[in-house]
Amino acid sequence: MICIKADIPKELSEIDDELKAIYHSKDTVCFFIFKNREQRNEFVERTIGMAKVERETIYQEYKS
């Protein structure tokens, strides 16, 4: 296990883990937040192997 110390906003910590998809690159950690578990799981499956920019584009579909 690798842990990186960071100041995580309280609001983010309070969101149920099943509603968050978390990805990282060499210099960024991204938290994608969803309305329900089904959306989160669908997003994870749809974005397997995608780069950050591609994931962000797909995520826009879930924000509406």
Residues 11-44: pLDDT tens digits? 999 999 999 999 988 888 999 999 999 999 999 9
Q: What is the pLDDT of residue 25?
A: 85
Q: What is the pLDDT of residue 26?
A: 85
For residue 50, CA distances in Å to 24, 26, 40 come to: 12, 15, 15
- Is 38 a member of any domain? yes
**How many domains is the chain partitioned into structurally?**
1
- Is 1 a member of any domain? no
Q: Which domain holds residue 22?
A: 10-62
Q: What is the pLDDT of residue 44?
A: 97
Say yes or no to pLDDT of 64 above 80.
Answer: no
